A and B are shown apart, each in its own frame.
Chain A
Amino acid sequence: MTLADRVMDRSEVVEESRWRRLVPTPKVAIVAGVAALVGYLALVPLGYLFWGTFFDNEGLEFGGFRRAYGNDRMGELLQNSLSFAIGAAVLSLTVGTTLAYLNVRTAVPFKALFFAASIVPLIVPGILYTISWIFLASPDIGLLNTALEPIFGSAPLDIFTIWGMIWVEGLHSSPIVFLLMVAAFRSMDPSLEESALMSGATRLQTLRKVTLPLVRPALLSSVLIILITSLESFEVPALLGLQNNIYVFTSRIYFVLRTYPPDLAAAGALAVGLLLIAVTGVAISRLLAGRGSGTFQTITGKGFRPRPMDLGRWKPVVGTGILLYFSATVLAPLLVLVYTSLLPFYRKPSMDVFSALTTDNYVELLHLDQAQTALRNSLMLGVGTATLVMAVMAIAAWIAIRSRIPGRGVLEQLTFIPLVIPGLVLGLALSFVYLRSPIPIYGTMFILLIAYCTKYMPYGMRYATTSMGQISSELEESALVSGASWWKTFRRVLLPLLAPGILAGWVYILVVSFRELSSSILLYSPGNEVLSILIFEQYENGQFTVLAALGVVMVLTLVVLVTIAYKIGARVGLRND
């Protein structure tokens, strides 16, 4: 056979295999399956939400909107939601940025405390944090009020106000801002500030004209993240606002659904409104960030030597401030939880009380079937969600980053859609889907699993794409060249290389699923409560002491999980944020 013949021969083989591709190979089947799954999870709930909101049996109708926003409720809702979100953003931004600046740029005392405080949002779920602050600052039972009453004559603090809501949400979010801003300050060349000093600028001028403008992108994304998380926040407005009829979108949705009969259309109308605000927020920040980005690329990649500046006579003042911050964000909420968990019934502290501390509540937990079921449910859902999400997202990340399949960009976008869907809205949308669908999973754990998978899909995708990006595509190509099939290459070469990143993502999703509340609250049914739901129920029933014990158990479990996550994350060089 001549060379030309052989070449001809080869081309026929290629031709043939192209035909064979129409029959699904494992690669085609897997890729198509993953794409369909992602599309289903991201789009179907939204579709049903809009359908259920705008249409009933008779066709298009706006009754839901009238009932949701009528009677001037629209203005009040908007005002409360925005003051709450903006207030929390201002508080957390101020606190978080100040702490980050002090930490990176100055020789501030107690540096270890900063990072201890920064993991609080991970290990103390919002619901426990809110309840702790009720124990601290409610007008009736708040410990701080007890302490301050002799001085002021009456209880000076009231957590059940919009200010209380802002305080709790803002403090709980400040560590997120802190971590984002620490990264921003660290990546900024200190000589940019030093050259301002050399130009004769004072510290304040340097801060205002050089430092802050340079970290503007990080500031903007922090604002956005906090605004959206506060708008989506359910536990703070529900536990603190409902008491005095301060409604925001989320608590209104919950309220509308809790009354009998539940008004699904009105809840849908509220959910659509909230979704619109969230999407607008994201769009605006993209616009703002887009305008500034590129400009700041000069923040050079050289390794900088940290040159912390001396605080001089301000050191004691700043040190005191940090101790106060640490007490308020970490110590007080955790201590009050532990204290309450050791009481036979809720009381203010006194000598008698301390002598009567008991571990009865923990013993009771051991005998409380509900608690054990909830703990098991939470763990099972966490493990299930983490496994499913990471498995599917590993393939989705491959499609998005490595393949040349048309539409891969759309797939990536789809995986990030749930990021703007508030948890409560997702819960509502899913109940729209499965109340109408013939699939009988409403009222089972499966619907929670679907909710969690949807909600944490973006995080899984982030972990998977980041670690996929770190692996040279040549490693994969050389496996293909040596004759391995696509699936073999994926399993034998890519997965092992991805494993550390996937594992880090797995633990992170386990942690966040373990404490999920806002989607679960609309989807659970008696018998399949998860931990956070049980805590919520116990709070409503006034079982404070058992609740506190359960909370302590939950925090301890999370500490273990988060420690593992950090260990793995550090080993892989990924951060858990």
Chain B
Amino acid sequence: MLNIEKLVKSFAGEKARGRRRGDAQAAVFAVNDVSFEVKEGELFTLLGPSGCGKTTTLRSIAGLEHPDSGRITVGDRVMFQRGGDHGRSVNLPANQRGLGMVFQSYAIWPHMSVFDNVAFPLQVRKRSERPSKAQITERVDRVLETMELTPQASRQATKLSGGQQQRLALARALVIEPPLLLLDEPLSNLDAKLRESLRYELKRLQRELGITAIYVTHDQIEALALSNKIAVMTAGEVVQLGKPREVYESPANKFVAEFIGTSNFMPGTIGARDAEHLTVETANGKLYLQSAAQLVVGDEVVVSIRPEAVELSRTSLGAVKNEWSGKVVARAFLGDAVDHVVAVGKQELRVRVNPSVSIEPGSEVYLRLDPTKISLVPVG
């Protein structure tokens, strides 16, 4: 459906005043050699910290940014190509790409009614392609209906609440039935409660309407909840590409593990291995885990342990694998879970457990680490 190959976009550095030309022009590579593919009907998420180049990637697909090189195709239409072995340069202007986009600020036109906002994309078409007035009304009404905005149709667009504005922006993007929908942090302007309910709403709509969408966010929970596939970006590059579960459970490197959820890290060396089991020697003792990684005995590794992959109890189960003892240092009640900080040897581990298991600080405890939920991340 959407294909991005070797996309590069740099910005000339801000001209510092009073400096000489040469050193003021250091370019920023906002997008550096990014490639990925989005399949029909998929919700694909670009996830990464602020400033990692998500918006720039999205705007390049939209045609609002002019990339340095690479190739962007939607279906069999070439939207952009330049440099490399791509042949003739192509750069279709934004208003001829026919894609839908929801901006972070929603960009609702304040001088138009809700209806006019949605009708605009149809009204500005070339005369030969423009639907009749009646058809426009019908299509707009249908989209407003889907977005549950029918009662607000004749209202001034700015009189809507945050959630309604978000749905209006979506309605406007969808009215032309675009092959691809681009969403730039569409929920970041809403408060936490609304954000959660709209998240599921968005997912439902996307699935029911069969929309192919690219979703940009810096919120890992949003990404995990919504996506079919996630591309984790940092410093203009995609560092991991995979299903939400894969990205969460086997992060490709320390950055991903740290960025997506919290994690405990522990250095170690491979002690023994057979077909699919590994033993890692750590400062706190042996850890047994499952991994298909190509590692040999003696390799240095970092183990990543999610806080919820640890079981906590006051009593030992005896001779089970991966059981360590420690001491609770601190405890925080979070409502649906309880966080414990447990000192194991010289290290402190973050452990998240069910509220029924709440252990006061100072107690001796036993930790059991689920071998299927421990992952290895490459050193460095």
Using a CB–CB distance below 8 Å, which chain A residues touch chain B? Answer: 189, 191-192, 194-203, 205, 209-210, 213-214, 216, 295-300, 302, 307, 310
Contacts and interface: CB of A to CB of B under 8 A. Distances in A.
B172 A298 contact: no
Contacts of A201: 95, 120-121, 124
B310 to A, nearest CB: 41
A300 B108 CA distance: 11
Contacts of A213: 111
B158 A194 contact: no
Interface in B323-343: none
Contacts of A298: 108, 110, 158
A190 to B, nearest CB: 9
A502 B99 CA distance: 53
Which 9 pairs show the lowest CB-CB distances between chains A and B?
Answer: A199-B121, A195-B107, A191-B107, A201-B124, A191-B103, A197-B94, A298-B110, A198-B101, A213-B111
Interface string B93-118: 11111111101110111110000000
B107 A296 contact: no
B264 interface: no
Query: Interface of chain A, helix or strand or loop or mixed?
Result: helix
Nearest to A299: B110
Contacts of B64: 194, 197-198, 307
Given A196-B120, A201-B95, A210-B109, 12 more contacts: A194-B103, A196-B109, A197-B64, A197-B94, A199-B120, A199-B172, A200-B176, A201-B120, A202-B124, A209-B120, A299-B110, A302-B105
Nearest to B165: A298
Contact of A296 (B96, B98, B105, B111): B111
B120 A296 contact: no
B243 to A, nearest CB: 29
B100 A198 contact: yes
B156 interface: yes
Nearest to A296: B110
A192 B107 contact: yes
A199 B124 contact: yes
B125 interface: yes
B57 to A, nearest CB: 15
Contacts of A197: 63-64, 93-95
A200 B92 CA distance: 12
B62 interface: yes
Given A200-B124, A202-B124, A295 B103 contact: no
Contact of B98 (A200, A209, A214, A307): A200
A198 B105 contact: no
B66 interface: yes
Nearest to A310: B66
A47 B98 CA distance: 65
A380 B96 CA distance: 64
A96 B108 CA distance: 27
B110 A198 contact: no
Contacts of B104: 191
Nearest to A210: B109
How large, as a class, is the contact surface on chain B? 20 to 34
A198 B124 contact: no
A101 B173 CA distance: 27
A295 B124 contact: no
A561 B125 CA distance: 54
Contacts of A189: 105, 107
A465 B255 CA distance: 52
A304 to B, nearest CB: 9
Interface in B219-258: none
Contacts of B94: 194, 197-198
Contacts of A210: 109
Interface in B160-184: 172-173, 176
Contacts of B120: 196, 199, 201, 209
A42 B246 CA distance: 76
A209 B124 contact: yes
Contacts of A297: 110, 158
Interface in B120-151: 120-121, 124-125
Contacts of B176: 199-200
| Most chain B beta-carbon contacts within 10 A, residue among A189, A200, A201, A298 | A200
A210 B110 CA distance: 9
Contacts of A299: 110
Nearest to B93: A197
A393 to B, nearest CB: 35
B101 to A, nearest CB: 4
A179 B64 CA distance: 27
B158 A295 contact: yes
A107 to B, nearest CB: 11
Nearest to A194: B64
9 contacts: A191-B104, A192-B109, A197-B95, A198-B97, A199-B95, A202-B95, A205-B124, A213-B111, A297-B158
A45 to B, nearest CB: 42
Contacts of B95: 197-203
Contacts of B97: 198
B177 to A, nearest CB: 12
Nearest to A300: B105
Interface string B51-88: 00000000000111010000000000000000000000
A195 B104 CA distance: 11
A240 B105 CA distance: 51
| Most chain B beta-carbon contacts within 10 A, residue among A201, A297, A302 | A201
B242 to A, nearest CB: 29
A198 B62 contact: yes
A194 B107 contact: yes
B52 to A, nearest CB: 15
A214 B173 CA distance: 20
A195 B100 CA distance: 9
Nearest to B184: A191
A194 B103 CA distance: 9
A295 B110 contact: yes
A299 B100 CA distance: 22
Given A198-B99, A201-B120, A214 B172 contact: no
| Most chain B beta-carbon contacts within 10 A, residue among A197, A201, A302, A307 | A197
B187 to A, nearest CB: 16
A558 B104 CA distance: 46
Nearest to B65: A307
A297 B96 CA distance: 31
A189 B158 CA distance: 14
Contact of A195 (B93, B96, B103): B103
B269 to A, nearest CB: 47
A201 B96 CA distance: 9
B158 A200 contact: no
A315 to B, nearest CB: 15
Given A199-B176, A298-B158, A191 B105 contact: yes
A307 B62 CA distance: 14
A170 B111 CA distance: 30
| Most chain B beta-carbon contacts within 10 A, residue among A194, A197, A199, A201 | A199
